[in-house]
Structure 1
Amino acid sequence: MIRWRKGEVAAIRREWPGAMELDVALPEGSCRALAYPPVVGRPEPGDTVLLNTTALAMGLGTGGYAMVVALPDRLPEDPQGPGHLVKARYTPLQATVLGADEQDSPFHELLREADSVDGMPVVVADLHSALPAILCGLFGPPSPAGGAARPRVAYVMLDGGALPAWFSMAAARLREIGWLCGVVSTGQSFGGDVETVTVHTGLLAARHVLAADVAVVAQGPGNLGTGTRWGFSGVAAGEAVNAAAVLGGRPVASLRVSEGDARERHVGVSHHSLTAYGRVALAPAQVVVPDLPGAFGEKVAAQAAVLAGRHELVTVPVDGLERALRASPVKLSTMGRGLEQDLPAFLAAAAAGRHAATLLG
């Protein structure tokens, strides 16, 4: 199940909040490794590191790193302070965090009886790569003259992909420049600005702790799929629609669309979206159908039409969205494809953001 290696840190390649990318020398060569200093301590050149090389050996795209498990010769100090929520429970690296909804939290009283997000738009997406594109559509292309203040947007991270929120360089950068007012990690995921037990308390924390005007809900990087109707982590998108609705939010469903995927089941509207929104989501949502040109746009509209019995389909124009996407402050990439290889994928997500903007008072 796990491939173990011991190596020595040769160099620090780069850092972002909560994560470090390293070059590690191994007996059989060298590799790129990722460490989370809040969990294992801060590695320095010359340190011995214990690695999990499973994903690296499998050649996984998103997770193609060796993961630093420990610095056996220089363990970090014991953590201090409150926090009783255990995430990644009963794994060797289970971590204890302070949850916004637990009794020791300063926000416990605020969340103890909280039961509504007060009509907040909640944009739900399958893939983590939709997050920056949704924000590009929500904020629109940059204006030389400035404009109205941007709405506060919180990213509510599901635990179907990466568990550490620190893994996402995009989320870290979006947080740094103020495009996100914060990251909320839910379920078994951890490392957000706010930690919560469920997607429900995650949405409540986004609204009442971070004072978000809009929430974007998606899994972390590293979507899991098996090519079967039900065996993919994105089914949680349908459950997120239900959570948003039961809490008095306004669910906006972003379709997973592709023109460049080699797999037929993902061409046009992905079967992931059709299952998550058509079968799992029991509450109605506004499903955003991007008004894409030509025969491909007609294909997307026809596929999305099967969702009309349960949801409200909202056709959103995409004019101007490519310009907004090209001005993205973070790299846009989905399943290894960028704007040039799969523009409709990003236009569909940006259209959902554009529609969410119209729901703000």
Structure 2
Amino acid sequence: MIHWRRARVHRVIREWQGAVELEVALLPADGRSAGAPEDTGTLRALAYPALVGRPEPGDEVLLNAGALVRNLGTGGYAPVVAVPDRLPPDPGADGHLVKARYTPLQALVAGADEQGSAHHDVLRDADSLAGMPVVTADLHSALPAICVAAAADRPGVRIAFVMTDGGALPAWFSRTVDGLRRAGLLVGTVTTGQSFGGDLECVSLHSGLLAARLVLDADIAVVAPGPGNLGTGTRWGFSGVAAGDAVNAAAVLGGRPVASLRVSAADPRERHRGVSHHSLTAYGRVALVPADVPVPDLPGEFGDRVRAQCAALGERHRLVPVDLTGLPEALAASPVALSSMGRGLDDDPACFLAAAAAGRWAAGLSGEVD
């Protein structure tokens, strides 16, 4: 389950809101079976100071190295589980929501929707998003393209990121969120379910959407997981299925669901070429209410393929052709790096243009709500 490692911090590589990236050197195995390449030399580790304190050069740290040992990713980091010789002080006033529940690092957070919160009276009987556009996406990498496009068409639009628990649980893992916030493209992040570390914490996606609208005063909410996702190459075994659930939640609360398509012209896996089966399944099978589906006006045979794949979604949803004029330039000027599955804007422009089309459509809808 967990591959434990001890290491010594060599240096701090960089840090961003809520996270510190470290270079660490692995220490002797102390009787543990050794032999994996990761058992020697240095590697990158990531610490969340709010959970474990801030490691400094010379500190010994405990790591969870399982994903690295198995070559499964987690951003190429071994998470720091503890700085055992220098524990952080107890936090100040905690809330009463427990997230990452019943794990060794379960965290107590103050929920926007819990009793005693300054926002509890606002959210207690709240039941409507009042037509706010809610963009749904199954990959975190769609977030910056959606935000950049919406802001390009409607400068000053207030966008909130409502983060689900299908990927990273700590919002702090995302350099994208930090960069978008610094650039003024996000008014805040609401972490829902088991995810945590946002500007606001909420129990459910539904209360998170209401907090985005009523507490953060958002014009648009973007619902997506944190970085990382899980897929098994099966029809139903992928975390992106939650995008369909997000459509349902937005509609139940009187929002305007906008279903962002996952599109790729470069993915080597046929199931993700054109419109990914993730989008076709989440929106075609899981979403039970109509949504706007922005269909990017991509050129040539590839564009024809995308439009043909979307035809089946038109039986339930509203297919909306979206002109892409100006969006390539807006994406090229993004204040944060655009990357999805290791591919950037130049490698797979269709991927980011599809997300940007959703941002453009949502920006137009948000003007109607005002």
Task: Give the whole-Å Cα distance in 2 for the aligned partners of 1:284 and 1:149.
Answer: 28
- Residue-by-residue CA offset, 1:285-317 (whole Å, 9 max, x unaligned): 001110100000000000011101110000101
1:104 to 98, 116, 125: 116
Any residues of structure 2 matched to 1:111-150 within 5 Å, and which?
111-140=123-152, 149-150=155-156
Question: Which aligned segments of 4 or more residues in structure 1 are displaced greater than 4 angstroms?
Answer: none
Q: Which residue of 1 aligns with 2:32?
A: none
Q: Which residue of 1 aligns with 2:275?
A: 269
The letter for the 2-side match of 1:321 is L
Structure 1 stretches lacking a partner, 5+ long: 142-147
The letter for the 2-side match of 1:155 is F
Q: Which residue of 2 aligns with 1:259?
A: 265
Aligned-pair CA distance for 1:150: 1.1
> 2:2, 2:64 within 8 Å by CA — same for their partners in 1?
yes
2:344 to 312, 334, 338: 338
The alignment's TM-score, normalised by the length of structure 1, stands at: 0.97
The letter for the 2-side match of 1:300 is V
Any residues of structure 2 matched to 1:320-339 within 5 Å, and which?
320-339=326-345
Task: Give the whole-Å Cα distance in 1 for the aligned partners of 2:16 and 2:84.
Answer: 23
Task: Give the whole-Å Cα distance in 1 for the aligned partners of 2:358 and 2:148.
Answer: 10
> 2:94, 2:108 within 8 Å by CA — same for their partners in 1?
no
Q: Which residue of 2 aligns with 1:281?
A: 287
Structure 2 stretches lacking a partner, 5+ long: 28-39
> 1:290, 1:318 within 8 Å by CA — same for their partners in 2?
yes
> 1:52, 1:67 within 8 Å by CA — same for their partners in 2?
yes
The letter for the 1-side match of 2:226 is G
Q: Percent identity?
A: 69
- Residue-by-residue CA offset, 1:203-231 (whole Å, 9 max, x unaligned): 00000110101000101111110000000
DSSP 3-state at the match of 2:62: strand
Task: Give the whole-Å Cα distance in 2 for the aligned partners of 1:272 and 1:98.
Answer: 33
Aligned-pair CA distance for 1:4: 0.4
Q: Which residue of 1 aligns with 2:13?
A: 13
Which segment is superposed worse, 280-289 or 51-60? 51-60
Q: Which residue of 2 aligns with 1:303?
A: 309
Task: Give the whole-Å Cα distance in 2 for the aligned partners of 1:60 and 1:316.
Answer: 36
Q: Does 1:202 align with 2:208?
A: yes
> 2:10, 2:57 within 8 Å by CA — same for their partners in 1?
yes
The alignment's TM-score, normalised by the length of structure 2, stands at: 0.95
Q: Which residue of 1 aligns with 2:159?
A: 153
Task: Give the whole-Å Cα distance in 1 for the aligned partners of 2:337 and 2:152.
Answer: 17
> 1:254, 1:287 within 8 Å by CA — same for their partners in 2?
yes
> 1:82, 1:104 within 8 Å by CA — same for their partners in 2?
no
DSSP 3-state at the match of 1:69: strand
- Residue-by-residue CA offset, 1:307-341 (whole Å, 9 max, x unaligned): 01110000101121110000000000000000111
Any residues of structure 2 matched to 1:146-295 within 5 Å, and which?
149-295=155-301
Aligned pair count?
355
Q: Which residue of 2 aligns with 1:145?
A: none
Task: Give the whole-Å Cα distance in 1 for the aligned partners of 2:155 and 2:55.
Answer: 40
Task: Give the whole-Å Cα distance in 2 for the aligned partners of 1:59 and 1:14.
Answer: 23
Aligned-pair CA distance for 1:82: 3.6
Aligned-pair CA distance for 1:62: 4.4
2:87 to 50, 68, 75: 75
Q: Does 1:41 align with 2:53?
A: yes
- Residue-by-residue CA offset, 1:225-279 (whole Å, 9 max, x unaligned): 0000000000000000000000000000000000000000000000000000000
> 1:154, 1:182 within 8 Å by CA — same for their partners in 2?
yes
The letter for the 1-side match of 2:125 is E
Task: Give the whole-Å Cα distance in 2 for the aligned partners of 1:2 and 1:198.
Answer: 28
